[in-house]
Structure 1
Amino acid sequence: MAVKVLILEDNPVARGFLCRVVRESFSDVSSITEAGDLEAVRRLLGHAAGQRAAATPDPFQLILVDLELPDGSGLELLSELANYPATRIVTTLYSDDEHLFPALQCGADGYLLKEDRFEVLVEELQKIVRGQPPLSPAIARRLLTHFRTGDGFPSASALHTGSGVSSAAVAAAPAAPVAPMDHERLTPRESEVLTYLSKGFTIKEIANLMGIKWFTVNDHIKSIYKKLNVSSRAEAAVLASKQGLV
């Protein structure tokens, strides 16, 4: 199965640039669909504003989302994609906390700055295959600074004040994780992926071992994290070991 990509970006020049970045980053891209506003993306995904996008028989596996759009905020789409089986990466010019943290809380799997060099963006996107979140260097430093200084993770509602971002989008952000689900609810495929994760294999290596696409492995990992109520490979490995899953 080849990878389908969707790029939401209102600037035609930036769209062309991101298309080149995607094609350079992955060798198995089958198609790149471009959209310039939220309305166009919703038509492509088959849902209305404020509704959750549902998976289709042939879904997009990677979606790049700009935040500032002619008809709204990319945060709205991120919230609507909560149940959609795609890796969602913000591509924006904004590196401030007022955009970064609400985007992550609304479900972004990565955050890239379009002002970065072509080679940097390619390198960051390729991290998806290795199971690492694609973050522009400046964004990674900002996150480290926040946690090292004890500021923690600002709430979306606090950061929203005065930011000009839709309050509906922030309100729709995923709630805090609930109690972990029983590990027995992992599917056989998920259990197999978890075993490989615990042994230190990368996403690409797991895909080769299991004979599936790396985007499929990535989907399994997201489901594992959600069911086990963890947020990293290390946490998943420790919990798996304690509960005798591997």
Structure 2
Amino acid sequence: MNIQSRTEIGQDTIRVMLVDDDDRIQQALRLAIETHPELNLVGQAYTLKDAMAVVEELQPEVVLVDLGLPDGSGLELIAHIHQHMPGCESMVLTVFGDESHVISSIEAGATGYLTKDTRTADILDRLKQLRAGGSPISPVIARRLLNRFRGVATPDQLPTSKTAVNQEFTPLSEREQQVLEMVAKGFMQAEIADILGVSINTISTYIKRIYKKLAVNSRTSAVHRANALGLINLKDC
């Protein structure tokens, strides 16, 4: 658990807490927030357990939380904040852009939802918008929600074949999502292992899990199935 405070610079800053197990994202946001005159980083947590242990003590006004934490779901933290901390708001920052994760987050109490391809500067702007009464949502997520309420089928609602109709989909873990995106971009297992700092056997295990969850048996099928489900966008790959 890493706690940092800038309360000495004034009482008008927005108190922010970061909850994410990705150290690169944590550090990028920390550096950006520390140089922002309107934001005050009061704490950082890398696990659900650490976040739950100190969130009430730190009294942040906004918690930027990832859904895929190593010891549980960020949804649990969001629900806790919603129920016990009326002065605090939760904004999701995650790789998951599918409808089920978005709806689950909103139902748990999140008032903002951003995907991790959002620029750091834009994330900081969204934090301010949230405290000003807005509900920032990534544009692609907003479009899917609008289509849902208009009754228009979105990519994550469309089957890819007759066998996929009414088939239950088990959400991917955050690491599985990362691996899937790299597979879609054409990276080989050895390259993915090197980038993520794990063994090839570990990547092979992730890919097998992805195949099982997507009900496919090849890289090509996995990519097309994931695109149809809205997990990736082939135009970005």
What TM-score range do you get, normalising by the shorter chain? 0.5 to 0.7
One-letter code aligned to 1:36? Y
Cα distance per residue 1:100-137 (max 9 Å; x no partner): 11011000010011112234323333322442111111
Matched, 1:27 2:48: no
Q: Does 1:101 find its partner at 2:103?
A: yes
Equivalent runs, 1:55-70 vs 2, <5 Å: 59-70=59-70
Report the equivalent of 2:47.
37
Counterpart contact for 2:62–2:127, Cα < 8 Å: no
Deviation at 1:19, TM superposition (A): 2.6
The TM-score normalised by the length of structure 2 is: 0.54
Where structure 2 has 5 or more consecutive residues not aligned to the other structure, the ranges are 1-10, 154-167, 174-237
List 4+ stretches of structure 1 deviating above 6 A: none
Q: Are 1:162 and 2:164 an aligned pair?
A: no
Q: For 1:139-193, what per-residue CA distance to the aligned partner results, in whole angstroms no more than 9, with x for missing partners?
A: 1111111112278xxxxxxxx973379xxxxxxxxxxxxxxxxxxxxxxxxxxxx
Query: Does the CA contact (< 8 Å) of 1:3 and 1:28 recur in 2?
Result: yes
| Whole-angstrom distance in 2 between the partners of 1:72 and 1:132 | 28
Q: Which runs of 5+ in 1 are unaligned?
A: 46-54, 152-159, 166-246
What is the DSSP-based 3-state SS (H/G/I as helix, E as strand, rest coil) of the residue aligned with 1:81? helix
**Candidates 134, 145, 148, aligned match of 1:146:** 148
Identity between Structure 1 and Structure 2 (%): 29
The structure number with the bigger radius of gyration is 2
Secondary structure of 2:18 counterpart = strand
Aligned to 1:127: 129
Taking structure 1 as the reference length, what is the TM-score of the superposition? 0.52
Summarize the alignment of residues 77-116 of structure 1 with structure 2, pairs less than 5 Å apart: 77-82=77-82, 83-84=84-85, 85-116=87-118
Matched AA of 1:106: A
Tell me if the contact between 1:62 and 1:86 (Cα under 8 Å) persists in the aligned partners: yes
Correspondence for 1:137: 139
**Cα distance between partner residues in 2 of 1:124 and 1:5:** 12
CA RMSD of aligned residues (A): 2.5
What is the SS of the residue equivalent to 1:94?
coil
